[in-house]
Amino acid sequence: MNETYLTLRLPFNLCCDEARLLLSTARLFRHTALHLHSLILKENPRITSLIALKRMYRRRLQEILPNRRYVDGAITLVYSIYESAQALGVSFSDIEFKSWLLFQQSEKEHPCRNITLQKDYSFRITTINYQGVGKRISLKPTIPKNYKQTLGKIIGEKQPYVARIVLKGFGERKNMLWVHGEIHLSIPYRFYLEHFKRYKRNYGKLLGGVDVNVDRINLAIIDRYGRLRDVKTFWFEEASWKGCPRQRAWSIIGIAVHNMLRYAYHHGVKVLFLENPETLGYLKTLWIKKGERRSNNYNYRVQFFRNRIVERITMKTPLYSINIEYVNPKGTTHSREHDEVMRRYGLDRHTASAYLIALRGIEKHTIIQKAII
């Protein structure tokens, strides 16, 4: 079973010679990944595992990018794309690479040799110029306050991590080259839970249903008999606007998610029922294919938010010692039962959906009733 990782995103700006070195490393990494893709299409090897792929192509790719860890990072990236194509039934020859610029070390170790976290929260990064010569540079990203404690634990506990440099943009200003990007630091999710769990125990006996939309989270709390005990709406309208920067949007959504979970915990919720992400993904595809859109950017809003917010709630819920269960959302928004719930309790349609999700959860998972008594 694959381990779940949590990724910290640390933005940075860099100029002059260091910026050129980051760009050259990212371009060499991209060229390595593209070359591997073309080699696989040309030679059609029997790919049985990531290790086998490394054995087949590592030496040849090091002629382009003379750094074993970065070459392995490129091979890992291409292999993950290959696996995804196989799972989706898509031909590997139909894969097209977007215009990304990044480089990564896929090995989990401490310290990460090529992208090394220092005690002062700076990073020492191995770069490669176009002549194949390596050089270490220092990079000081912007560290959000809530990340400093996590980084301190990584250093203090010597926790192995995976690191990546993603270049978001570059340009010239006052005859100087500037690059803007992010350092992505990935740590095991279990490590995050061990050190940052907010509530160790949960003595609640109630159940909650959550309905996720592009601008709000609706929570309905019921007891084990299905009686409605409380409702609450948590808004994040600004995050759903298309012009809102992605980092700010997820910061706003993250605050709403934590507010919802904190409210649920302090109001005795032991189990939360969420819409099944797999079913949501299938319904999302149907909505887009049918052309159902309520605004010009409806497809963007549907694709970008609902599944991602459900995933975010799932990741954060263990911090509050609340259990998660999934239910099929079909019929919880448009049905006779839904209209009846709205009339009976005077609820809006989203809160009524949250109530129906909670009821469906308690019906499907009857064993939960015994667990919370």
Mean pLDDT across the chain: 85
| pLDDT interval class at 146 (50, 70, 90) | confident
Whether the pLDDT of residue 278 is over 60: the answer is yes
Residues 189 and 236 in one domain: no
Tokens of 314: 């799932």
Whether the pLDDT of residue 68 is over 80: the answer is yes
Distance CA 218, CA 211 (A): 5
Tokens of 288: 């887009």
pLDDT of residue 22: 95
Residues 201 and 317 in one domain: yes
pLDDT of residue 301: 54
Supply φ then ψ for residue 238, to 5 degrees: -60, -35
CATH code, 231: 3.30.420.10
Residues 27 and 130 in one domain: yes
Whether the pLDDT of residue 139 is over 70: the answer is yes
pLDDT of residue 119: 92
**Domain end residue (candidates: 178, 195, 212):** 195
pLDDT of residue 77: 93
| pLDDT interval class at 276 (50, 70, 90) | confident
| pLDDT interval class at 11 (50, 70, 90) | very high
Residues 217 and 95 in one domain: no
pLDDT of residue 189: 87
Q: Which residues neighbour 200 within 8 Å (Cβ) at sequence distance 6 or greater?
A: 321
HEC letters along the chain: CCCCEEEEEEEEEEEHHHHHHHHHHHHHHHHHHHHHHHHHHHHCCCCCCHHHHHHHHHHHHCCCCCCHHHHHHHHHHHHHHHHHHHHHCCCHHHCCCCCCCEEEEEEEECCCCCEEECCCCCEEEEEECCCCCEEEEEECCCCCHHHHHHHHHHHHHCCCEEEEEEEEEEEEECCEEEEEEEEEEEEEHHHHHHHHCCCCCCCCCEEEEEEECCCEEEEEEECCCCCEEEEEEEECHHHHCCCCCHHHHHHHHHHHHHHHHHHHHHCCEEEEEEECHHHHHHHHHHHHHHCCCCCCCHHHHHHHCHHHHHHHHHHHHHHHCCEEEEECCCCCCCCHHHHHHHHHHCCCHHHHHHHHHHHHHHHHCCHHHHHCC
Residues 49 and 181 in one domain: yes
pLDDT of residue 305: 66
Pick the range with the lowest mean pLDDT from 60-69, 198-207, 227-236: 198-207
Give the CA angle between residues 194, 111, 129 to the nearest 5°.
135
Distance CA 353, CA 237 (A): 19
Whether the pLDDT of residue 288 is over 90: the answer is no
Whether the pLDDT of residue 202 is over 60: the answer is yes
Residues 274 and 367 in one domain: yes
pLDDT of residue 282: 41
Distance CA 25, CA 134 (A): 9
Residues 50 and 28 in one domain: yes
Residues 187 and 211 in one domain: no
Whether the pLDDT of residue 172 is over 70: the answer is yes
> Which among 95, 85, 96, 75 has a CA at the least distance from the CA of 33?
75
Look at the chain and count its residues: 373
pLDDT of residue 102: 93
Distance CA 269, CA 277 (A): 21
Residues 111 and 207 in one domain: no
**Domain end residue (candidates: 140, 166, 195):** 195
Question: How many distinct structural domains can be found in the chain?
Answer: 2
Whether the pLDDT of residue 368 is over 50: the answer is no
Residues 220 and 76 in one domain: no
Distance CA 8, CA 120 (A): 17
What is the span of the domain harbouring residue 35? 5-195
> Which among 164, 150, 149 has a CA at the least distance from the CA of 72?
164
Residues 79 and 190 in one domain: yes
Whether the pLDDT of residue 373 is over 50: the answer is no
Residues 143 and 267 in one domain: no
Whether the pLDDT of residue 98 is over 80: the answer is yes
Q: Which residues neighbour 258 within 8 Å (Cβ) at sequence distance 6 or greater?
A: 316
How large is the average pLDDT for residues 77-105?
A: 88
Whether the pLDDT of residue 279 is over 80: the answer is no
CA atoms within 13 A on the CB side of 244: 21
Give the CA angle between residues 95, 100, 101 to the nearest 5°.
135
- Residue 321 Ramachandran class (φ > 0 left, ψ -120 to 50 alpha, else beta): left
**Domain end residue (candidates: 195, 212, 247):** 195
Distance CA 286, CA 255 (A): 30
